[in-house]
Structure 1
Amino acid sequence: MISDETLENVGKKRTRRFEYTAKYKTLEQKISYDTQIPLTDENPIDEIISHIYVTNKVLPLFYKDIADAFHRFVDEETWKYETEIGDAIINAFLCGADSTDDPPYVREFPELTNTKPSEALQFADQFQFIMRNSSPERLKIIIAWERKMEDEMLSLIRARDFELDRMYRKCEQAVNASITKDDRVIPESGQHLSCLNEQIREISNNYAQQIHILTSRQRKFYRNMIKSLYEHDEFPAEAEITLSDDTTPVKRSLSTVSSFDTTKTQSNLSLDESFTIYLGAQLKTMHNARLLTSPSLTDLCRPPVFFEDDVCATRRLQMNLTLYSRSLISLIPKAKEDIHRETNDNGDDNDESLLPVGSLYVTRHSNLSSVQVIYHLVVDKSLEDDEISSRHPCINGLRNAIRLSAKCGVTTFTIPLLLVGKAKEHMTPNWCMKRAELIFKCVKGFMMEACSGSSTAGGGPPTATTHFNVNFVLPEDLQKIIYAEILELFPTIFHMVPSVVM
Structure 2
Amino acid sequence: MAGSLLDNGARVFEYVVTTGSNKPIQELRFPINVLEVFDVKELVARVMNYHDIPCFVETGLNNKLKNFVDNERQNLHDDQAALLLQKIRDDPTLIDHVADVVAEKYKNTWQEYAPPISTQPNNFPLSYHYLIHSPAMQILMQLEKKYHSAVAKLLSDKEQSLTKMCERHRGEMSRACDHVGFEYTTEDVSILATKQLADTDRMQKHWEDNYRRLTEEQKQEYCDLVIRLAEEMKQSDNKLNENGPVHNEVQRLLDHNRGRSLVSTRDPSEDVESESSVTVSCGILMEESFTINLGAQLKTMHNIRLVVADMLYFCRYSDDGEMEAQRFQTAMSLYSNSLSAIVLITDKNLNECSGIEKEFRTVCESSTEFHFETLQDQTTKVKEHALEASERRNRSLSSEETIEYKQNIDEMDGTGTLNEGDFYITKHSNLSQVHLVFHLVAEENQLRTKASLTTVTSRHSVILGLRHILKVASSHDIRHITIPLLLSHELTEEITFQWCVKRAELVMKCIKGFMMEMATWDGGISRTIQFVIPPGVSEEAFDRLRYTLPEVFRTTSTRNLTPAHRKLPTR
2:368 and 2:327 mapped to 1: Cα distance? 15
2:371 and 2:511 mapped to 1: Cα distance? 30
Q: Which of 122, 127, 143 pairs up with 1:145?
A: 143
Q: Which of 413, 437, 444 pairs up with 1:374?
A: 437
Structure 1 residues 326 and 121: alpha-carbon distance in aligned structure 2, compared to 1, 3 A threshold:
farther
Q: Does 2:312 align with 1:298?
A: yes
| Unpaired stretches in structure 1, ≥5 consecutive residues | 1-117, 455-463
Structure 1 residues 174 and 349: alpha-carbon distance in aligned structure 2, compared to 1, 3 A threshold:
same
Shift of 1:321: 1.8
Q: Which of 230, 241, 248 pairs up with 2:252?
A: 241
Q: Percent identity?
A: 25
Shift of 1:481: 2.3
Match of 2:338 in 1: 327
Match of 1:436 in 2: 504
Structure with more helix by fraction: 2
Q: Contact (CA 8 Å) 2:306, 2:531: kept in 1 or not?
A: yes
Q: Contact (CA 8 Å) 2:132, 2:140: kept in 1 or not?
A: no
Match of 1:445 in 2: 513
1:380 and 1:465 mapped to 2: Cα distance? 33
Q: Contact (CA 8 Å) 2:491, 2:534: kept in 1 or not?
A: yes
Structure 1 residues 419 and 300: alpha-carbon distance in aligned structure 2, compared to 1, 3 A threshold:
same
- Cα deviation code 1:84-107 (max 9, x no counterpart): xxxxxxxxxxxxxxxxxxxxxxxx
- Cα deviation code 1:49-70 (max 9, x no counterpart): xxxxxxxxxxxxxxxxxxxxxx
* Matching of residues 8-87 of structure 1 within 5 Å: none
1:407 and 1:395 mapped to 2: Cα distance? 19
Structure 1 residues 259 and 199: alpha-carbon distance in aligned structure 2, compared to 1, 3 A threshold:
closer
Match of 1:389 in 2: 456
Q: Does 2:466 align with 1:398?
A: yes
1:165 and 1:451 mapped to 2: Cα distance? 54
Structure 1 residues 381 and 329: alpha-carbon distance in aligned structure 2, compared to 1, 3 A threshold:
closer
Structure 1 residues 324 and 195: alpha-carbon distance in aligned structure 2, compared to 1, 3 A threshold:
same
1:478 and 1:358 mapped to 2: Cα distance? 26
2:256 and 2:275 mapped to 1: Cα distance? 33
- Cα deviation code 1:77-126 (max 9, x no counterpart): xxxxxxxxxxxxxxxxxxxxxxxxxxxxxxxxxxxxxxxxx966532222
Match of 1:39 in 2: none
Q: Which of 286, 307, 314 pairs up with 1:271?
A: 286
Q: SS of the residue aligned with 2:307?
A: strand
Q: Contact (CA 8 Å) 2:300, 2:524: kept in 1 or not?
A: yes
* Matching of residues 130-209 of structure 1 within 5 Å: 130-133=131-134, 135=135, 138-167=136-165, 186=186, 188-209=188-209
Q: SS of the residue aligned with 1:281?
A: coil
Match of 1:212 in 2: 212
Shift of 1:177: 7.7
* Matching of residues 319-358 of structure 1 within 5 Å: 319-335=330-346, 336=357, 337-338=360-361, 339-350=364-375, 351=377, 352-353=379-380, 355-356=417-418, 357-358=420-421
Shift of 1:186: 4.8
- Cα deviation code 1:190-235 (max 9, x no counterpart): 3322222222322222222222222211111111111111223342
Q: Contact (CA 8 Å) 2:518, 2:524: kept in 1 or not?
A: no
Larger Rg belongs to: 2
Q: Which amino acid aligns with 1:217?
A: E
Q: Contact (CA 8 Å) 1:349, 1:363: kept in 2 or not?
A: no
Q: SS of the residue aligned with 1:214?
A: helix
Q: SS of the residue aligned with 2:133?
A: helix
Q: Which of 483, 486, 498 pairs up with 2:545?
A: 486
Q: Does 2:279 align with 1:281?
A: no
Q: Which amino acid aligns with 2:422?
A: S
1:175 and 1:445 mapped to 2: Cα distance? 60
Shift of 1:282: 3.4
Q: Contact (CA 8 Å) 2:504, 2:545: kept in 1 or not?
A: yes
| Number of equivalenced pairs | 360
| Unpaired stretches in structure 2, ≥5 consecutive residues | 1-118, 179-184, 234-243, 263-270, 347-356, 384-416
Shift of 1:439: 1.7
Q: Contact (CA 8 Å) 1:276, 1:496: kept in 2 or not?
A: no
Q: Contact (CA 8 Å) 1:413, 1:469: kept in 2 or not?
A: yes
1:301 and 1:403 mapped to 2: Cα distance? 23
Q: Which of 522, 526, 533 pairs up with 1:474?
A: 533
Structure 1 residues 417 and 225: alpha-carbon distance in aligned structure 2, compared to 1, 3 A threshold:
same
Match of 1:114 in 2: none
Structure 1 residues 216 and 194: alpha-carbon distance in aligned structure 2, compared to 1, 3 A threshold:
same
Match of 1:14 in 2: none
Q: Which amino acid aligns with 2:492?
A: K
Could you tell me the TM-score, scaled by structure 2's length? 0.56
2:547 and 2:190 mapped to 1: Cα distance? 58
